[in-house]
Chain A
Amino acid sequence: MDYDPMAMDDAESLGPVVKISQADNTRVKFELSNTELNFANSLRRVMLAEIPTIAIDLVEIEANSSVLADEFIAHRLGLIPLNAEGIEQLLYSRDCDCDEYCEHCSVTLQLHAKCTGDDIMQVCARDLVPVGDRVNQVLGSPVINDPDGHGPLILKLRHGQEIKLSCIAKKGIAKEHSKWAPSAAIGFEYDPHNKLHHLDLWYEQDPKKEWPPSEYADWEEPPQEGEPFDYDAVPNRFYFNVETAGPIPPDAIVTEGIKVIQQKLAGLIHELTESDGGDGGYNGPRSPGYNEGGDNWNDQGSFTPYGNGGNQSSWGGQGGATPYGTTPYGGGGGSWS
């Protein structure tokens, strides 16, 4: 069945395909095709909420005679994007051996400003000074992208007012607090002509006139006049628009996102393989006591945490040698290949 003639033109129409349409320092726009909605959505969700970055988490205020309350300033500080390059070398504070925080699991930034002139003073992110040892020279530094090099405004001081504080920035993910989000926004779109009827467009007279066409509308065939509804069709081409908030470059958000999924899966497989025997499971009559974790783990054979998904894989170790759409699972791909 020819669901999507455009996709069939691709020489590689059998495996997932990525096409980048725009990329710069702040965003990457790409099309992911020949995957399922489920996977594309997993990628989107993971990029939104589960990529580790660094953000100010604790604020110790020594002096604050500004007009803003301590907790108000602390909240503002938390939202300042910090450079997350090399974040993988930083530990989560909860996994660290130290009591509260140390240089292995945090970056300390200090802020001290006093307005001595008559003009109102602006205290910006560039005034946050990283102190002490760091994993590398950029991790935890405020991200400054404006032409003046000030960074986000934190607060303003009048003559005689002073602010003195130190901030502890920690590693975290946006699922816990959105200040750790690497992306400002992730555009996610499929089926621009709404052929699948996943959307029910509100309208007054005519939805075609009232709804502007998507920027991707030209990329796909518009529906033919009087074309019957294809109830077997599934979404196949997904348009991502990943915009960074500053901590990591946009393309790194995508690769890191995939890495996070990989780690999640690797952890689960590892655990499943381990607990299997311990639960008195289904892989033969082994007693729980007999099973040391290591032994059992090896018994399962050829498990690698990253990639090359083991000898049972239908994909081949090199990845992409056997395209996803033609796994021995068969059936499922039928509607579009």
Chain B
Amino acid sequence: MGKVTKFGDDGEEVTMKETPTSHQPEAHDDVSMADAGEEGEEGEEEFEEETSKVRLLPGSTPTAASFEFLEENHTLGNALRYVIMKNPDVEFCAYAIPHPSEAKMNVRIQTYEGTTAVEALRKGLRDIQDLCDVVSEKFLEARQEFTEKKAAASA
């Protein structure tokens, strides 16, 4: 980061470094791909945005992991939690929105031996996808049926 200078009230030059540490952004030490990318390449904004939607929180083991989703909320969180809990290989699953004014959602997954938390998450997402497919299909069927019935009634 370049050295940023600003002027105090008396016109004296103050460097950013001298401001209280609480005002300086802390360096992140977690092992996130997204963070590494952000500091490395400034140019590829779109790419970064796409890759940083979900990350593994530090302190995770293969069978017990916490994930942080950006820009997600109860819409996905609750459905995902429920569907992951239905997986018999999963010991525990919960989600939380740590702070209402941060667009973040955390999911904790603990599985039994034989599968991984990442796998359980992936399976959960796919299961909701499949559920969506069925509901979509059923809705279109019902719509078709309804319009046919209506046409028959008016004829």
Which residues of A pack against B, CB within 8 Å? 15-20, 23, 30, 32, 35-36, 38-39, 41-43, 45-46, 49-50, 95, 251, 254-255, 258-259, 261-262, 264-269, 271-276, 278-283, 288, 306-310, 312-315, 319-320, 323-324, 327-332
Task: Mark B122-155 against chain A: 1 for CB-CB distance below 8 A, else 0.
Answer: 1101111111111111111111011100100000
Q: Which residues of B contact A278 (CB under 8 A)?
A: 33
- Give the docked Cα–Cα distance between A41 and B85 (Å): 17
Which residues of B pack against A, CB within 8 Å? 31-33, 46, 50-51, 53-56, 62, 69, 72-76, 78-79, 81-83, 85-88, 116-119, 121-123, 125-143, 145-147, 150
Question: Contact: B135 with A32, CB < 8 Å?
Answer: yes
Could you say which of A18, A261, A262 contacts B142, with CB atoms under 8 Å apart? A18
Could you say which of A41, A258, A276 contacts B139, with CB atoms under 8 Å apart? A258
Could you say which of B79, B85, B138, B140 contacts A39, with CB atoms under 8 Å apart? B79
Question: Contact: A38 with B118, CB < 8 Å?
Answer: no
Question: Contact: A38 with B127, CB < 8 Å?
Answer: no
Q: Which residues of B contact A39 (CB under 8 A)?
A: 79, 82, 128, 131, 135
- Give the docked Cα–Cα distance between A255 and B74 (Å): 20
Question: Contact: B129 with A36, CB < 8 Å?
Answer: no
Could you say which of B31, B73, B130, B143 contacts A279, with CB atoms under 8 Å apart? B31
Nearest residue (CB) in B for A264 is B76
Q: From residue B114, how far is it (CB to closest CB) to chain A in Å?
A: 12
- Give the docked Cα–Cα distance between A148 and B142 (Å): 34
- Give the docked Cα–Cα distance between A307 and B136 (Å): 10
Q: Which 5 interchain pairs have the tightest Cβ spacing?
A: A329-B86, A309-B126, A38-B82, A45-B75, A18-B138
Q: Given contacts A272-B54, A275-B51, is CB(A36)–CB(B132) below 8 Å?
A: no
Q: Given contacts A20-B143, A20-B146, A276-B118, is CB(A38)–CB(B135) below 8 Å?
A: no
Known pairs A268-B54, A269-B122, A323-B134 / 17 extra A-B pairs, C-beta < 8 Å: A18-B135, A36-B82, A42-B75, A95-B46, A255-B136, A259-B136, A271-B53, A275-B51, A282-B62, A306-B129, A312-B126, A313-B127, A315-B134, A320-B133, A329-B88, A331-B88, A332-B86
